[in-house]
Protein backbone atom coordinates (compact mmCIF):
# COMPACT_ATOMS: atom_id res chain seq x y z
CA UNK A 1 0.00 0.00 0.00
CA UNK A 2 2.75 2.46 0.96
CA UNK A 3 4.68 1.65 -2.20
CA UNK A 4 1.60 2.16 -4.37
CA UNK A 5 0.75 5.48 -2.77
CA UNK A 6 4.36 6.59 -3.15
CA UNK A 7 4.20 5.73 -6.87
CA UNK A 8 0.95 7.68 -7.26
CA UNK A 9 2.54 10.66 -5.52
CA UNK A 10 5.51 10.53 -7.90
CA UNK A 11 3.16 10.39 -10.90
CA UNK A 12 1.36 13.47 -9.59
CA UNK A 13 4.63 15.31 -9.05
CA UNK A 14 5.66 14.55 -12.63
CA UNK A 15 2.39 15.13 -14.51
CA UNK A 16 0.27 17.33 -12.23
CA UNK A 17 -2.74 15.03 -12.27
CA UNK A 18 -3.73 11.43 -12.86
CA UNK A 19 -7.02 9.71 -13.66
CA UNK A 20 -8.55 6.53 -12.26
CA UNK A 21 -8.42 5.10 -15.78
CA UNK A 22 -4.65 5.61 -15.94
CA UNK A 23 -4.06 4.11 -12.50
CA UNK A 24 -6.26 1.11 -13.34
CA UNK A 25 -3.80 0.32 -16.15
CA UNK A 26 -0.76 0.88 -13.94
CA UNK A 27 -2.24 -1.16 -11.06
CA UNK A 28 -4.47 -3.75 -12.80
CA UNK A 29 -5.01 -5.82 -9.63
CA UNK A 30 -6.18 -2.87 -7.51
CA UNK A 31 -9.88 -1.94 -7.37
CA UNK A 32 -11.11 1.56 -8.17
CA UNK A 33 -12.49 1.85 -4.64
CA UNK A 34 -8.99 1.23 -3.25
CA UNK A 35 -7.51 3.78 -5.64
CA UNK A 36 -10.08 6.34 -4.50
CA UNK A 37 -9.00 5.66 -0.92
CA UNK A 38 -5.42 6.30 -2.03
CA UNK A 39 -6.59 9.67 -3.37
CA UNK A 40 -8.28 10.38 -0.03
CA UNK A 41 -5.06 9.53 1.80
CA UNK A 42 -3.00 11.87 -0.39
CA UNK A 43 -5.64 14.58 0.00
CA UNK A 44 -5.61 14.24 3.80
CA UNK A 45 -1.83 14.65 3.71
CA UNK A 46 -2.08 17.84 1.66
CA UNK A 47 -0.27 16.22 -1.27
CA UNK A 48 -3.18 16.20 -3.73
CA UNK A 49 -6.90 16.86 -4.02
CA UNK A 50 -9.55 14.81 -5.74
CA UNK A 51 -11.10 15.98 -8.98
CA UNK A 52 -13.64 14.40 -11.32
CA UNK A 53 -12.29 10.99 -12.29
CA UNK A 54 -8.91 11.35 -10.61
CA UNK A 55 -6.62 13.55 -8.52
CA UNK A 56 -4.55 16.69 -9.00
CA UNK A 57 -1.33 17.67 -7.24
CA UNK A 58 -1.80 20.28 -4.51
CA UNK A 59 0.80 22.54 -6.15
CA UNK A 60 -0.98 22.49 -9.49
CA UNK A 61 -2.02 26.14 -9.19
CA UNK A 62 1.35 27.25 -7.89
CA UNK A 63 2.83 27.48 -11.38
CA UNK A 64 5.16 24.50 -11.36
CA UNK A 65 4.95 23.79 -15.06
CA UNK A 66 1.90 21.55 -15.13
CA UNK A 67 -0.29 21.69 -18.19
CA UNK A 68 -3.14 24.14 -17.67
CA UNK A 69 -6.57 22.53 -17.59
CA UNK A 70 -9.76 24.56 -17.76
CA UNK A 71 -11.86 24.12 -14.62
CA UNK A 72 -15.59 23.54 -14.68
CA UNK A 73 -17.36 26.43 -12.94
CA UNK A 74 -20.67 26.68 -11.12
CA UNK A 75 -23.47 28.89 -12.32
CA UNK A 76 -23.93 32.03 -10.24
CA UNK A 77 -26.39 31.92 -7.35
CA UNK A 78 -29.17 33.96 -9.00
CA UNK A 79 -29.17 31.65 -12.04
CA UNK A 80 -29.29 28.49 -9.90
CA UNK A 81 -31.99 29.91 -7.63
CA UNK A 82 -34.57 29.77 -10.42
CA UNK A 83 -33.92 26.13 -11.34
CA UNK A 84 -35.98 23.14 -10.12
CA UNK A 85 -37.84 25.22 -7.54
CA UNK A 86 -40.60 22.68 -6.83
CA UNK A 87 -38.13 19.89 -6.13
CA UNK A 88 -36.04 22.11 -3.86
CA UNK A 89 -39.11 23.07 -1.84
CA UNK A 90 -40.03 19.41 -1.38
CA UNK A 91 -36.47 18.54 -0.35
CA UNK A 92 -36.35 21.40 2.16
CA UNK A 93 -39.68 20.40 3.76
CA UNK A 94 -38.59 16.77 3.98
CA UNK A 95 -35.33 17.76 5.66
CA UNK A 96 -37.28 19.36 8.51
CA UNK A 97 -38.13 15.83 9.73
CA UNK A 98 -34.43 15.27 10.47
CA UNK A 99 -33.80 18.44 12.52
CA UNK A 100 -35.18 18.34 16.10
CA UNK A 101 -35.78 21.55 18.02
CA UNK A 102 -32.82 22.60 20.13
CA UNK A 103 -30.18 21.20 17.78
CA UNK A 104 -26.82 22.74 16.92
CA UNK A 105 -26.64 22.60 13.14
CA UNK A 106 -24.38 23.63 10.29
CA UNK A 107 -26.40 24.89 7.33
CA UNK A 108 -24.41 24.90 4.12
CA UNK A 109 -24.76 27.59 1.47
CA UNK A 110 -26.79 26.93 -1.67
CA UNK A 111 -30.22 27.54 -3.14
CA UNK A 112 -31.90 24.57 -1.45
CA UNK A 113 -30.31 25.52 1.88
CA UNK A 114 -31.74 29.03 1.54
CA UNK A 115 -35.25 27.58 1.09
CA UNK A 116 -34.69 25.36 4.13
CA UNK A 117 -33.64 28.42 6.18
CA UNK A 118 -37.07 29.96 5.52
CA UNK A 119 -38.75 26.85 6.90
CA UNK A 120 -36.47 26.75 9.96
CA UNK A 121 -37.46 30.21 11.22
CA UNK A 122 -40.01 28.84 13.69
CA UNK A 123 -37.55 26.31 15.12
CA UNK A 124 -35.36 26.93 18.16
CA UNK A 125 -31.93 26.12 16.78
CA UNK A 126 -28.31 27.21 16.95
CA UNK A 127 -27.22 27.59 13.34
CA UNK A 128 -23.72 28.05 11.90
CA UNK A 129 -23.65 28.90 8.19
CA UNK A 130 -21.29 29.93 5.42
CA UNK A 131 -24.09 31.66 3.50
CA UNK A 132 -24.48 35.43 4.10
CA UNK A 133 -27.91 35.32 2.45
CA UNK A 134 -28.93 32.49 4.77
CA UNK A 135 -27.83 34.55 7.79
CA UNK A 136 -29.89 37.50 6.54
CA UNK A 137 -32.88 35.19 6.07
CA UNK A 138 -32.59 33.93 9.65
CA UNK A 139 -32.06 37.46 10.99
CA UNK A 140 -35.62 38.44 10.07
CA UNK A 141 -38.30 37.17 12.45
CA UNK A 142 -36.53 33.94 13.35
CA UNK A 143 -36.40 31.92 16.57
CA UNK A 144 -32.91 30.66 15.65
CA UNK A 145 -29.61 31.81 17.07
CA UNK A 146 -27.15 31.96 14.21
CA UNK A 147 -23.48 32.55 13.51
CA UNK A 148 -22.02 33.55 10.16
CA UNK A 149 -18.75 31.64 9.95
CA UNK A 150 -16.62 34.36 8.35
CA UNK A 151 -13.95 34.05 5.71
CA UNK A 152 -13.42 34.97 2.08
CA UNK A 153 -16.62 35.61 0.09
CA UNK A 154 -17.19 33.99 -3.28
CA UNK A 155 -19.48 36.59 -4.86
CA UNK A 156 -20.83 34.17 -7.46
CA UNK A 157 -22.16 31.44 -5.19
CA UNK A 158 -22.46 33.58 -2.02
CA UNK A 159 -20.28 31.32 0.11
CA UNK A 160 -17.67 32.12 2.76
CA UNK A 161 -14.56 29.92 2.83
CA UNK A 162 -10.80 30.08 3.30
CA UNK A 163 -8.38 29.83 6.24
CA UNK A 164 -10.42 32.05 8.58
CA UNK A 165 -13.55 29.96 8.04
CA UNK A 166 -11.63 26.73 8.62
CA UNK A 167 -10.14 28.07 11.87
CA UNK A 168 -13.52 29.32 13.09
CA UNK A 169 -15.08 25.89 12.59
CA UNK A 170 -12.94 24.56 15.44
CA UNK A 171 -14.95 26.69 17.87
CA UNK A 172 -18.29 25.00 17.18
CA UNK A 173 -19.92 21.74 18.18
CA UNK A 174 -21.99 20.49 15.24
CA UNK A 175 -24.70 17.94 15.92
CA UNK A 176 -26.24 18.01 12.46
CA UNK A 177 -24.58 19.03 9.19
CA UNK A 178 -26.97 19.95 6.37
CA UNK A 179 -24.86 19.92 3.23
CA UNK A 180 -25.37 20.75 -0.44
CA UNK A 181 -23.42 19.85 -3.57
CA UNK A 182 -23.07 21.30 -7.05
CA UNK A 183 -23.02 17.81 -8.50
CA UNK A 184 -22.99 14.06 -7.89
CA UNK A 185 -21.19 11.56 -10.09
CA UNK A 186 -20.81 7.84 -9.50
CA UNK A 187 -17.16 8.15 -10.54
CA UNK A 188 -16.14 10.69 -7.91
CA UNK A 189 -19.03 11.43 -5.50
CA UNK A 190 -20.31 14.82 -4.33
CA UNK A 191 -18.44 17.82 -5.70
CA UNK A 192 -18.38 21.61 -5.90
CA UNK A 193 -16.63 24.26 -7.97
CA UNK A 194 -14.29 25.72 -5.33
CA UNK A 195 -11.30 24.13 -3.62
CA UNK A 196 -11.67 26.35 -0.53
CA UNK A 197 -15.37 25.53 -0.28
CA UNK A 198 -14.61 21.80 -0.58
CA UNK A 199 -12.19 22.11 2.36
CA UNK A 200 -14.93 23.63 4.51
CA UNK A 201 -17.41 20.92 3.54
CA UNK A 202 -14.96 18.12 4.34
CA UNK A 203 -14.16 19.57 7.76
CA UNK A 204 -17.85 20.03 8.62
CA UNK A 205 -18.60 16.43 7.67
CA UNK A 206 -15.68 15.26 9.81
CA UNK A 207 -16.95 17.19 12.86
CA UNK A 208 -20.69 16.52 12.62
CA UNK A 209 -22.48 13.63 14.32
CA UNK A 210 -25.33 13.39 11.80
CA UNK A 211 -24.75 14.31 8.16
CA UNK A 212 -27.53 15.17 5.71
CA UNK A 213 -26.92 15.76 2.01
CA UNK A 214 -29.48 17.71 -0.06
CA UNK A 215 -29.45 17.34 -3.86
CA UNK A 216 -32.20 17.53 -6.46
CA UNK A 217 -32.00 15.34 -9.56
CA UNK A 218 -30.53 18.13 -11.71
CA UNK A 219 -27.24 17.47 -9.86
CA UNK A 220 -27.04 13.82 -10.97
CA UNK A 221 -24.26 13.09 -13.43
CA UNK A 222 -22.67 16.50 -12.80
CA UNK A 223 -19.01 16.43 -11.79
CA UNK A 224 -17.31 19.61 -10.66
CA UNK A 225 -13.55 19.83 -10.12
CA UNK A 226 -13.43 19.49 -6.34
CA UNK A 227 -14.71 16.35 -4.62
CA UNK A 228 -15.59 16.57 -0.92
CA UNK A 229 -17.67 13.49 -0.03
CA UNK A 230 -19.29 10.26 -1.10
CA UNK A 231 -22.21 8.28 0.30
CA UNK A 232 -19.94 6.66 2.89
CA UNK A 233 -19.47 10.12 4.45
CA UNK A 234 -23.17 10.87 5.10
CA UNK A 235 -26.14 9.42 6.99
CA UNK A 236 -29.10 10.81 5.04
CA UNK A 237 -29.67 11.75 1.41
CA UNK A 238 -32.69 13.96 0.69
CA UNK A 239 -33.66 14.24 -2.97
CA UNK A 240 -36.66 14.37 -5.31
CA UNK A 241 -38.78 11.66 -6.89
CA UNK A 242 -36.55 11.50 -9.98
CA UNK A 243 -33.85 9.68 -7.99
CA UNK A 244 -32.22 6.99 -10.15
CA UNK A 245 -31.72 3.31 -9.34
CA UNK A 246 -27.93 3.53 -9.39
CA UNK A 247 -28.00 6.28 -6.77
CA UNK A 248 -30.40 4.29 -4.58
CA UNK A 249 -28.08 1.31 -4.87
CA UNK A 250 -25.00 3.38 -3.97
CA UNK A 251 -26.83 4.79 -0.93
CA UNK A 252 -27.98 1.35 0.18
CA UNK A 253 -24.46 -0.08 -0.06
CA UNK A 254 -23.23 2.75 2.21
CA UNK A 255 -26.16 2.30 4.67
CA UNK A 256 -27.47 5.77 3.88
CA UNK A 257 -31.17 6.47 4.43
CA UNK A 258 -32.80 8.11 1.40
CA UNK A 259 -35.73 10.48 1.83
Task: State the SS3 of 69-128.
Answer: CCCCCCCCHHHHHCCCHHHHHHHHHHHHHHCCCCCEEEECCCHHHHHHHHHHHHCCCEEE
CB-based burial label for 59 (10 Å; 0-12, 13-18, 19+): middle
3-class DSSP state of 28: coil
**Contact status, residue 259 vs residue 236, Cβ threshold 8 Å:** yes
> Which residues, at least 6 apart from 181, have a Cβ–Cβ distance to it below 8 Å?
190, 191, 192, 213, 215, 219, 228, 229
What dotted CATH number matches 2-62? 1.10.10
User: What strands, in cross-sheet order, belong to the sheet with 210-214?
Assistant: 145-148, 126-129, 104-107, 176-180, 210-214, 236-238, 257-258
Show pLDDT as tens, one digit a residue, over the chain (259 residues).
Answer: 888 888 888 888 878 888 888 898 889 899 988 998 888 888 877 788 888 788 888 766 434 343 333 334 455 544 555 556 788 999 999 999 999 999 999 999 988 999 999 999 889 999 999 999 999 988 887 888 999 998 888 877 789 988 899 999 999 999 999 999 999 988 788 998 888 899 999 999 999 999 999 999 888 888 888 889 999 999 999 999 888 898 999 999 999 999 9
Q: What confidence score (pLDDT) does residue 74 get?
A: 52
Closest Cα to residue 242, out of 215, 217, 214? 217
Report d(CA 6, CA 175) in Å as an integer.
37
3-class DSSP state of 57: strand
Q: CATH 3.40.50.1360: which residues of the chain?
A: 77-258
Sign of CA dihedral 94, 98, 101, 104: negative
CATH of 77-258, one of 3.40.50.1360, 3.30.470.10, 3.40.190.10, 1.10.3210.10: 3.40.50.1360
Q: CATH 1.10.10: which residues of the chain?
A: 2-62
Report d(CA 137, CA 231) in Å as an integer.
30
Q: What confidence score (pLDDT) does residue 130 get?
A: 94
3-class DSSP state of 234: coil
User: Residue 49: phi, psi to the nearest 5?
Assistant: -135, 150
Q: What confidence score (pLDDT) does residue 64 get?
A: 39
Report d(CA 9, CA 42) in Å as an integer.
8
Amino acid sequence: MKERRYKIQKILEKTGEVSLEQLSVIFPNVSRMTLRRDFDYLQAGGIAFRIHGGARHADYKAGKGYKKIENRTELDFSTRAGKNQEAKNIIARKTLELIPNGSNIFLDSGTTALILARFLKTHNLSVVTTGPNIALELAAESNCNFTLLGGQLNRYNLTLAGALALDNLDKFDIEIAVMTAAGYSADCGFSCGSYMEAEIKRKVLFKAKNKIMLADSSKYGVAMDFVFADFCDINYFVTDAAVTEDILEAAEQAWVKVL
